[in-house]
Amino acid sequence: MLLKKISIGGLKTPCNVFLAPLAGYSNAPFRELCSLSGAGLTFTEMVSAKGLCYDSAKTRGLLAVPEHANGIKACQIFGHEPEYIRRAAESEDLSVFDLIDINMGCPVPKIYKNGDGCALMNDLKLSSKIISACKKSGKAVSVKFRTGIVRDKIIAEQFAAMCEDSGADMITVHGRTRDMMYSGAVDFKAIAAAKAAVSIPVIANGGIFTKEDADITMAETGADGVMIARGALYNPWIFSEITGTPPQDKLGSVMKQLAETEELYGERFALVYMRKMMAFYLKGKRGATALRQKLLQVGSIAELKEMALSLGF
């Protein structure tokens, strides 16, 4: 794929290969791992706008940014009430962030039933008000959404135009409808239609697990860049493969991620979280199933470090 810088409002990314917001996973150490591997932009996992307005410590904890973090700092928020979106965007909690992404694509039932995430694609007027409210913060704003709610009603083109008209500086289109969740063929034509409908950058998302996938997605959609989600969970070094960034030592980067996760979030969280992450990283290794079972039985950070050393990655 053609690598290039992306202008988002007054911001400029070093390249056009991004890490998606990943609920439960894209914390600060993981984002740094992906950045060092070549990701041009990374996002926090989605946080509740209302939670920020009600001073939720749990919500604020998702926004941790290391002091040494460089580059554009981007977060993702969700909610369906413009006033809470505006207040969250203007809050002290988000003051460190340069770019705010609004989640209008999460298909999970709990989020959808509350009127958040992908549910906003049912109401373009409300979605427009939310984007406009977020823009009042003075920050760059992007929107992530899907091609539609159901497969027989694709609205990516109309939704993209609404986002631009409402002030969005960039959009990301996940090439599946809400009823498809995370499986099925990505609709390249719908992403291409969204791209043709606007002048702001359009990022294609969905089904990218290899460099070849990224190449095909760009060729088929004409998008300005790609955003990688689950592919990065299994292989955060995919950014190096796509961008040509000198590859990191995998074992060293896993050990660094483990140490930083423990430092930021404590031993208990680090143990549970890094067992899951290392299980993802085992994909493709011989005997991966048995190794994952062994990982789940690890009971301390010290044991986890020993296992990481033995696996080598």
DSSP-assigned states of every residue in 11-72? EE-S-SEEEPP-TTT--HHHHHHHHHHT-SB-EEEEEEHHHHHTT-HHHHHTT---TT--S-
Distance in angstroms (rounded) separating the CA atoms of residues 17 and 19: 7
Query: What single letter denotes the amino acid at residue 72?
Result: I
Catalytic residues: 106
**Is residue 220 exposed (0-12), middle (13-18) or buried (19+ Cβ within 10 Å)?**
middle
Q: Where are the alpha helices (DSSP H) in the chain?
A: 28-37, 49-53, 57-61, 82-89, 109-113, 124-135, 156-165, 188-197, 211-221, 230-234, 238-243, 250-265, 267-281, 288-296, 301-311
β-pairing verdict for 170-177 and 140-148: parallel
